[in-house]
Each structure stands twice: as structure tokens, then as C-alpha cells.
Amino acid sequence: MQDLLYFIQQLINGLTIGSTYALIAIGYTMVYGIIGMINFAHGEIYMIGAYTALIAITGLAALGIAWLPLVLIVALICAMIVSSSMGWAVERVAYRPVRGKHRLIPLISAIGMSIFLQNYVHLAQGSRNIGFPALIEGGFRFGAEDSFQTSITYMQITIFATTLVCMTILSLFISRSRIGRACRAVSQDLGMANLLGIDTNRIISATFVIGAALAAVAGLLLGMYYGSIDPLFGFIAGLKAFTAAVLGGIGSIPGAMLGGLILGVAESMTSGYLSGEYKDVVSFGLLILILLFKPTGLLGKPEVEKI
């Protein structure tokens, strides 16, 4: 019984983290699906979202506003606006001019952008980690009083619920809206979409904006969940989310969700049963194994090499 409860606890923790990975992974997968590049700076966009949210929360507190729903919504909106603008600007400045050049060039540009953004926040906000207030406290507990208790916190429930809402909105947006349809067209064949009169530049910008907005949501959620942030925390999270995207099949949105959840659970099981230090080794190891044995991921479509 105890073992089972412990296992369920790891599962819950894993799914919590995993669903935020999924939110970040959407950004990687959409960008890759459309222009075939790894947006290396995406983790930093997420980190900036977390910082903006914290600034908004602290600012509201200083103004004496403490009504939780309002604080959360204002923080969320601020984070989404700043991150989306950043996503848009990054694409305009660093990716659009090098689009269509040799594969390595956009990738190096993205790495440069990632380093720049890390240090931009580092310079503005210092390198130390800063406490992020846990606005949502408490939770449910299961199990006998005197032994191991499985708990599911309100924070974790919030993370699940928010992720679910975001994913639903995104799916509807992609399948129903005009921009969403254009997005799908562009990811099928960019040149052809262009010929058909779709403003591909706009669609690509939209992809970056949507991905960044979702990353900002993840930034707020994970900031609260972990309780502290620093300028480097986007880097590892970004890599994890990228792993999730590859795991699920890069370019596939349901794949990103699935990949995020699997990766989150794998990590929390490693922490729970082996050692927390090795959870990064497990996720990178997983990434390497997937790329070696099933580079198209779980739900991805195979790419045919043209001669």
C-alpha cells in the first residue's frame, strides 16, 4: 500500500512537471514544424515570462492588491504579452534574415540569441535566484496519518487545469481559426502556401507569438511550483521541453503533449527511486536514445530524403 502511494505520488509530480514541459514544447514543435529550425532561445523566452510574472506579482503586492485571481490573471497577461513580444522580436531580428540559409546558420544565430537573452536578464536582474511566492497553497492528502501520504496540492491541480485549458484553446485555434488553418498550410509546404497568397511571414510570426505565450504560462506556473527563478533556469527547461517535443515527434502538437508527460514522469520516477541528481542524465539519455532509434518520435511523420 505504502509503495503504491509512493508510486502515485511520483506519478502526480511527474505529470505536473510534464504538463509544463508540454506547454514549452509546443513552441519548439510549432516552429520546427513550420520553418524546420530549433528555436534555441525558446527556453529563455519562458524564463523571461517567469521573470515578468514575478515582477507583476511583486508590483501588485506593492500596490496593495492581494485578491488572488486578479493577481494571477494580471501576472499571466503581463507575462504572455512580454514573452510574445520577445518571441516576435527574436524571430524578426535573429531568424528571419537567415531563413533559408544553410541549416547551421539559423541554429548558431539561435544559440547566440539564447546566450544574449540569458545575459540580458542576468544584467538587469542579477544572477542570484529570487524567491517566487507560492500564491496557491494547500492540497489534499491521502493515506494513513502515521505513514506515507500521497498529496496533491492545489498548485498541482492549477497546473493541470491551466495546461488543459491552454491545450484545448490551442487545438481549437489550430483547427478552426483562419490563422490556424494557414499555419497548417504553411507547415505542409511553405513555398506553396506563399504562392497561394498566404502571408507566410505573418504566419511564422504568429507561430513564434503563440509558442512564446504558452511558454510564458509555463513560466508563471513553474515559477510558483519551484518557488524560485534565476536567469539560467530557462536553459535546462528548454532542453527538457525540446526533448519532450522530439520524444513525441517534432512538428506534432499532440506529440509534444504526450512527450512532455512521458518525460515528466520518467524524471520524477528517477528522482523518486534513484537519485534526483541523475534525472537530467535520464532525460538527456532518453533524448539520445529516441533520436537514435526513432528519430521521428512517437507521433511524428517520417521525413523522406529527396534526391
Q: Name which of residues 244 to 273 contact another protein (CB under 8 A).
A: 246
Q: Which residue has the cell 491521502?
A: 142
Which positions from 35 through 64 interact with another protein, judged by CB under 8 A? Answer: 37-38, 48, 51-52, 54-56, 58-59, 62
Q: Measuring CA to CA, which residue among 19, 14, 8, 12 is closest to residue 258?
A: 19
| Nearer CB in complex with another protein: 52/150 | 52
Instruction: Please tell me whether residue 216 binds another protein under the rule CB under 8 A.
Output: no
Q: What number of other Cβ atoms are within 10 A of residue 39's Cβ? A: 30
DSSP 297: T
d(CA 65, CA 118): 30
Binding residue for another protein, selected from 65, 73, 93, 195, defined by CB under 8 A: 93
Instruction: Please tell me whether residue 68 binds another protein under the rule CB under 8 A.
Output: no
Interaction mask 267-306, another protein, x per CB under 8 A? --------x-xx-xx--xx-xx--xx--x--------xx-
Binding residue for another protein, selected from 31, 82, 214, 215, defined by CB under 8 A: 82
d(CA 300, CA 245): 10
247 contacts 297 by C-beta, under 8 angstroms: yes
89 contacts 209 by C-beta, under 8 angstroms: no
Binding residue for another protein, selected from 8, 11, 125, 149, defined by CB under 8 A: 125
| Nearer CB in complex with another protein: 15/82 | 82
Binding residue for another protein, selected from 107, 174, 179, 269, defined by CB under 8 A: 107
Q: Which residue has the cell 544565430?
A: 109
Which of 69-77, 118-126, 181-189, 213-221 is the region at the interface with another protein (rule: CB under 8 A)? 118-126
**What's the first-to-final CA gap in the chain, in angstroms?**
59
Binding residue for another protein, selected from 10, 13, 109, 252, defined by CB under 8 A: 109
Instruction: Please tell me whether residue 149 binds another protein under the rule CB under 8 A.
Output: no
d(CA 66, CA 59): 11
Which of 79-87, 200-208, 255-263, 266-274 is the region at the interface with another protein (rule: CB under 8 A)? 79-87
Residue 191 CB-density burial (10 A; 0-12 exposed, 13-18 middle, 19+ buried): exposed
Minimum distance of another protein from residue 142's CB (angstroms): 30
Binding residue for another protein, selected from 35, 121, 222, 253, defined by CB under 8 A: 121
d(CA 75, CA 220): 8
Count of residues of this chain found to bind another protein when the rule CB under 8 A is applied: 71
| Nearer CB in complex with another protein: 122/184 | 122
Classify 229 as helix, strand or coil. Answer: strand
Minimum distance of another protein from residue 184's CB (angstroms): 21
Binding residue for another protein, selected from 235, 255, 260, 299, defined by CB under 8 A: 235
151: its cell numbers:
498529496
Instruction: Please tell me whether residue 154 binds another protein under the rule CB under 8 A.
Output: no
Task: Please enumerate in sequence order all residues whose Cβ is within 8 A of that of 203, keeping only pairs 6 or more positions apart, or say none.
Answer: 34, 179, 182, 183, 186, 193
